[in-house]
Chain A
Amino acid sequence: MPDSYSLFFYILLVVVSGVAIVAISHFLGKRPLTSEKTIPYECGMDPIDKPTSLFSIKFYVVALIFVIFDVETVFIYLWAIIVEEMGVFGLIEMFVFIGILLVAFFYAWRKGGLKWE
């Protein structure tokens, strides 16, 4: 059946083009590289800091708590489009959803996620 060949050909094409891009730049690229060329690209200016520098784990907790509200907002936007058609059912549904998210928020609060010390 010729269709299975087409899939096989597609996979082959993906692999070949993937390898080819790396190989062509390897053979055509000019070497040796200058030190300017080896630094990571950061919009044209010199890098300020190393990418492996450490930062406090607390930022991570704050980011997670932010996600709770972020997701909530995204879903409320979608809900707002069809809230009239959904009627009372939709209203209850959204409050249940907000309630579930608030449980997560209260849990984070109780575990001290909002304290910075």
Chain B
Amino acid sequence: MNFVIPDVNLISLLPEIILLIFATILLFVQTGSEKKRICALLAFIGLVITLVMVPFYWGKGIEGFGGLVIRDNFSLMCQTMIIVAVLLAVVYSYQYLVFEDKNIGEYYALTLTSVMGMNIMITGTDLIVIFLGMEILSISLYVLVAFFKTVREGMEASVKYMLLGAFASAIFLLGISFFYGASGKTALNAFVMLDGTSAMAMPLFFMGLSLILVGLGFKIASAPFHMWAPDAYEGAPTSVASLLSVAPKIAGLAVIFRVGIGMAKYSPEIMMTIIAFMAVTSMIVGNFAALRQSGLVRMLAYSGIAQVGYMLISLLGIREGGGSALLFYLFIYVLMNMGAFGIAVLLTKEKDKRLLIEDMKGLAGQHPIIAFTMAVFLISMAGIPPMGGFFAKFYVFKHGIEAGYLWVVIVAIITTVVSLYYYFRVIIVMYMTEEEEKGILPKHAEVNLFNAVLVAVALLIIVLGVIPGSLLEIAQHAVAF
């Protein structure tokens, strides 16, 4: 018996190891008066270290574990976006967890663990590794959703999320087994080797592929599999909801992209049909359901479903370089969605009370800066120039048309018009209604870190809307294999 030690190359997983170490330290932080600050700071430092490491990996394409893990430019770009999103979520959590909770260390530890899971998902080139990352991510998030054990809605949301999530994971696993049965491999590049000679395996292979896409479709909350999202976002602590609405979507879309690249040289029609179906249903369901919502977080949840639909359009043009449009859209999406959720965190006073859109009456009169940033995020989501959201949608539609899916793009444009109504309703409530009693926030909210972060995010969206060139260039560089 000869055992060959695989080429482990721990460098390829160094960011994950660092995150794990910080998560472990956070688990053991002792109770103390300064605990809340220390925990947030530790989580922040851990994330910043992994962010700083990105430029050192750029362009090297380091592989590890015998090719199971690859840290190429695409995964680095996704990693950057995930960490930016989670850094914002940590800032929000610091603002949101105002009362003393003795489990605060675990909150940040679970956040870091979920980031680790996402990083493993985006760097994995083997379906088993991707599944491992997906489970690390999911289990951390199930716990985070139910973090306040006394809030009934949180528990309910967590149970719903967990049951449906476990079901989706099982479907994903079934897909892997079909895939393995067809190709004899679990590596994603097994698609390429399978060159039509073994026609016997084809139905099995398509079956596996569609089941894998169903499992991933659940993680990104795209439309036939979106049912959990509004309930989970609303029941979860708002700071967790912000994380939940952005980061897993990046990881899920990255994996779909990798699957698509594996398929690109092969017969991708079935995959494109599934993606087109998911995109169209997401846009229709998300936008029309958002029209009827009275809660801000619920409205943002449905708008997130619709945004995923737009992002999936870019994957239709995967052979023509649609990946760069996906990355550009994702980056803008991270900023605008995290920003809007940041406002929701700021306005949620009591942790078990829903925030209604009506509650934002007269916000512009009292807090012009907060209202302005919210308006920037919403206008960007609606896709109106000069915000970044416009160019994001523009590139996505361009790639959709180039790939020959004109009807999908037409649906997207029509639903975008629909979406203007519910985005602008919030702006109208903020700017054009007089407040009746005292507003939702104390009169003189001081200029603090939180407001500064929101303003910075809003400025970044405007800057990316005016000069999108450099980000798009990086994105194109990242998907050039």
Contacts and interface: CB of A to CB of B under 8 A. Distances in A.
Given A3-B203, A7-B207, A110 B28 contact: yes
Interface stretch (B1-9, B317-325, B433-441): B1-9
Given A107-B27, A110-B28, A4 B202 contact: yes
Interface SS majority for chain A: helix
Contact of B199 (A1, A89, A106): A1
Contacts of A103: 24, 27
A85 interface: yes
Contact of B1 (A3, A82, A89, A110): A82
Contact of A3 (B3, B24, B28, B199): B199
Nearest to A11: B207
Nearest to B3: A85
Contacts of A3: 199-200, 202-203
A3 B24 CA distance: 52
A86 interface: yes
B202 A82 contact: no
Interface string A100-115: 0001001100100000
Chain A CB count within 10 A is highest, among B5, B199, B202, B207, for B5
Contacts of B3: 82, 85-86
B366 to A, nearest CB: 44
Nearest to B200: A3
Contact of B28 (A6, A7, A85, A107): A107
B204 interface: yes
Interface in B174-210: 199-200, 202-204, 207
A85 B1 contact: yes
A85 B24 CA distance: 32
Contacts of B202: 1, 3-4
Interface string B287-303: 00000000000000000
Interface string A12-34: 00000000000000000000000
B155 to A, nearest CB: 15
B189 to A, nearest CB: 24
A6 B204 CA distance: 11
Nearest to B109: A107
Interface string A67-91: 0000000000000001001100100
A85 B5 CA distance: 9
Contacts of A110: 28
Interface SS majority for chain B: helix
A11 to B, nearest CB: 9
Interface string A35-66: 00000000000000000000000000000000
Interface in B79-129: none
A110 B1 CA distance: 43
Nearest to A86: B3
A7 B2 contact: no
A1 B201 CA distance: 12
A29 B24 CA distance: 58
A89 B4 CA distance: 12
Chain A CB count within 10 A is highest, among B1, B2, B203, B204, for B203
A86 B28 contact: no
Nearest to A87: B5
Contacts of B27: 103, 107
B185 to A, nearest CB: 20
A85 B200 contact: no
A6 B5 CA distance: 42
B2 A85 contact: yes
Given A82-B3, A86-B5, A107-B27, A7 B199 contact: no
Contacts of A6: 203
Nearest to B207: A7
Nearest to B204: A7
Interface string B1-30: 111010000000000000000001001100
B24 A7 contact: no
A43 B7 CA distance: 52
A82 B207 CA distance: 37
Contacts of A106: 28
A89 B10 CA distance: 13
Given A107-B28, A110-B28, 10 more contacts: A3-B199, A3-B200, A6-B203, A7-B203, A85-B1, A85-B3, A89-B5, A103-B27, A106-B28, A107-B27
22 contacts: A1-B199, A1-B202, A3-B199, A3-B200, A3-B203, A4-B202, A4-B203, A6-B203, A7-B203, A7-B207, A82-B1, A82-B3, A85-B1, A85-B2, A85-B3, A86-B3, A86-B5, A89-B5, A103-B24, A103-B27, A106-B28, A107-B27
6 smallest CB-CB distances across A and B, nearest first, come from A7-B203, A85-B3, A82-B3, A4-B203, A107-B27, A103-B24
